[in-house]
Amino acid sequence: MQDRPRRDTFLPFSRPMIGEEEIAGVVDTLRSGWITTGPRAARFEEELAAFNEVPRCLALLSATTGLELSLSALGIGEGDEVITTAHTFVCTVSNVVLRGAVPVLVDIEPDTMNLDAERIEERITPRTKAILPVHYGGLPCRMERIWEISRRHGLAVVEDAAHTMGARYAGRRIGSDPRSAFSVYSFHPNKNLTTIEGGAIAFHDLRHEAHLKLQRFHGIARGAGTPYPEGSPLYDVPTPGRKSNFTDVQAAVGLAQLPKLDGFAARRRELARLYLSLLSEVPEVELPADGDAEREHCWNLFVLRNRPEATGLSRDELTAALKAENVGTGIHWQGLFSFSFYRDYFERHPEGLPKDGLPHAARTTENLMSLPLFPALTEEDVLDVVSAVRRVVAAGRRRARG
Ligand SMILES: Cc1ncc(COP(=O)(O)O)c(C=O)c1O
């Protein structure tokens, strides 16, 4: 490939895809007189469930709340353990801690960066209640193996599907297999589908519905979002609850996004494969794994890993040099042990850590960076990014040679 010169405009690593349909939907909602949880939120939930091939989806303020409510619906609390990946956004683990349970970390597969299903069983104890896999960057975990372990040991599975709304595992949408009790999607602006902020829980056992609905809205036992005059102004509160409902304004954005989601994912795949092909000529960096026939990748993130011994650069030097080339990057994520709370927490809860440590997660978190990837990216943008990576790596190597 012919290297391109430095960009003269900054390219962010992510940008939400907001079109005229989203804007018109929001304006209509604002004009409708009902802007919080109401008829549009209900319609979004129905369309979301149909799209994801699940009996029920409940929309919420965030995926973070979705994870918390899933664990609470399973009755997970003090004295319990939840097996999860060592490489995730902090909220996956924090939700377990907030329930009073202990997150038991498992190292990742070095190629996919997803939790290594082969290391789950050795971490199961009589306290284990659930397995909480995260489909990192849009690549589904090896779910068949995880379900097989969960069945044998009587454990619930909650999928952190923050990155994988719309991806398929074994030909079916993530969340659609009833062997997982709950799957939780995020609609944060960096995700494949956004509702500004927002999330949803997909589930199969409708006995959970009442608990989830009470918990997302003050414990109020009446359809939250039933506009007067149809609803009654009176209600009961059978339990204390949170406030994490989803507004009609968010729903208007989501309803416009949903029909476009498969197209977004297809474009992300095209761009990711262009990156994979062009960057295969830069052996100083490690490329992310693609999906396969079983695990369809929806490429929420394109995560490159620096090989410091080959580039002569630390990850932070590399991303700073890319920024000087007008190429933005993200860090998904800082390791848990970079956070003061978790350094201290795992000192007090060594049962949360494997005896042989978390070498793959540690190396990954030190070296990773997310390159720009969103459906509006052009082929020229990708060429700009790859040219910048090549220049920065070549300069690092020259410096290392002295
Ligand atoms: C793996 C993972 N889980 C959960 C979340 C939380 O999503 P939200 O911001 O919707 O709460 C994120 C957010 O980026 C995430 O990356």
Identify whether residues 253 and 265 lie together within a single domain: no
Q: Do 338 and 248 fall within a single domain?
A: no
Q: What is the mean pLDDT of the chain?
A: 96
pLDDT of residue 340: 98
What's the pLDDT at 137? 98
Whether residue 265 contacts residue 167, with contact meaning beta carbons closer than 8 Å, is answered with yes
Instruction: Specify whether 316 is located in the same domain as 168.
Output: no
| Domain identity same for 248 and 297 | no
Which atom of ligand 1 lies closest to the CA of 198? 10
Q: Which domain holds residue 141?
A: 20-260
Q: What integer pLDDT is reported at residue 221 of this predicted model?
A: 83
Calpha distance 145→143 (Å, rounded)? 5
Total-model pTM: 0.97
Residue 83 CA, ligand 1 centroid: distance in Å: 18
- Per-residue model confidence as pLDDT tens digits over 351-371: 999 999 999 999 999 999 999
Q: How confident is the model at residue 231 (pLDDT cuts 50, 70, 90)?
A: low
Domain boundary among 217, 244, 260: 260
Helices marked H in 33-125: 39-52, 63-73, 90-98
| Structural domain ending residue among the three candidates 260, 290, 312 | 260
**Is any atom of ligand 1 closer than 6 Å to the C-beta of 160?**
yes
Q: Looking at residue 75, what DSSP letter applies?
A: T
pLDDT value at 253 more than 80: yes
Tell me, yes or no, whether 59 and 184 share the same domain: yes
Are residue 322 and residue 247 in the same domain, yes or no?
Answer: no
Going by their DSSP bridges, the two strands 156-160 and 172-173 should be labelled as: unpaired
Please give the distance, rounded to the nearest whole angstrom, from the Cα atom of residue 187 to the centre of ligand 1. 8
| Average pLDDT of the segment spanning 103-118 | 98
Q: Which residues are catalytic?
A: 191
Asked if residue 280 is part of any domain, the answer here is yes
Q: What does the pLDDT look like over 40-67, one tens digit per residue? A: 999 999 999 999 999 999 999 999 999 9
CATH assignment at residue 396 = 3.90.1150.10
Mean pLDDT of 369-379: 98
Predicted confidence (pLDDT) at residue 76 exceeds the cutoff of 60: yes
8 Å CB contact between 59 and 44: yes
The percentage of the chain sitting over the pLDDT mark of 70, rounded to a whole number, equals 98
pLDDT at 223: 55
Q: Report the pLDDT averaged over residues 318-333.
A: 98
64 alpha carbon – ligand 1 mean position (Å): 6
Contact 174, 159 (CB under 8 A): yes
pLDDT at 224 > cutoff 60: no
188 Cβ inside 6 Å of ligand 1: yes
What is the per-residue pLDDT for 233?
A: 77
Say what the pLDDT of residue 225 is.
52
pLDDT of residue 58: 98
> What is the band of 402 on the pLDDT scale with cuts at 50, 70, 90?
confident
Same domain membership, residue 186 and residue 281: no
Interval 12-27: pLDDT, tens: 999 999 999 999 999 9
Of 392, 393, 395, 370, the C-alpha closest to 11 is 370
**Helix intervals (H) in 259-378:** 261-279, 308-311, 315-324, 340-348, 359-367
The more confident residue out of 401 and 372 is 372
**Do 149 and 279 reside in the same domain of the chain?**
no
Residue 316 belongs to some domain of the structure: yes
How is residue 367 written in tokens? 């070296």
Give mean pLDDT, residues 305-331: 98
Q: What is the CATH number of the domain that holds 241?
A: 3.40.640.10
* Cα–Cα dist 141/147, whole Å: 11
Assigned domain for 75 exists: yes
Rounded mean pLDDT of 219-231? 63
Position 251 pLDDT exceeds 90 = yes
Q: Which long-range contacts (CB under 8 A, 24 or more apart) does 145-149 make?
A: 145/117, 145/118, 146/117, 146/120, 147/177, 147/179, 147/180, 149/117, 149/120, 149/121, 149/124
- The answer to whether the CB of 88 is under 6 A from ligand 1 is yes
Q: Residue 229: is its pLDDT beyond 90?
A: no
Question: Domain check: are 247 and 338 in the same one?
Answer: no
Are 265 and 231 part of one and the same domain? no
* Mean pLDDT, residues 91-115: 98
Cα(284)–Cα(287) distance, integer angstroms: 10
pLDDT grade for 107, boundaries at 50, 70 and 90: very high
pLDDT (mean) for 105-118: 98
Give the mean pLDDT of 79-99. 98
Same domain assignment for residues 78 and 138:
yes
For the cut 60, the answer to whether the pLDDT of residue 227 exceeds it is no
pLDDT at 209 over 80: yes
- At 230 the pLDDT is 62
Q: Is position 132 within any domain?
A: yes
Residue 37 has pLDDT above 80, yes or no: yes
Q: Does residue 89 line the site of ligand 1, with CB under 6 A?
A: yes
Ligand 1 in reach of 66 Cβ (< 6 A): no
Please tell me the predicted confidence (pLDDT) of residue 262.
98
Do 204 and 251 belong together in one domain? yes
For ligand 1, whether the C-beta of 64 sits within 6 Å is yes
- The number of helix segments (H) and strand segments (E) in the chain equals 13, 12
Query: Following CA atoms 306, 309, 310, 316 in sequence, which dihedral angle do they give, to the nearest 10 degrees?
Result: 40
Domains of the chain: total = 2
157 is a domain residue:
yes
Distance from Cα 185 to the centre of ligand 1, integer Å: 8
**pLDDT over 70 (residue 90):** yes
Our mutation pick for probing the ligand 1 site, out of 186, 201, 334, 365, counting the most ligand atoms within 8 A of Cβ, is 186
Which run of H or E residues covers position 202?
A: strand 199-203
pLDDT, mean of residues 134-140: 98
Last residue of a domain, one of 210, 245, 260: 260
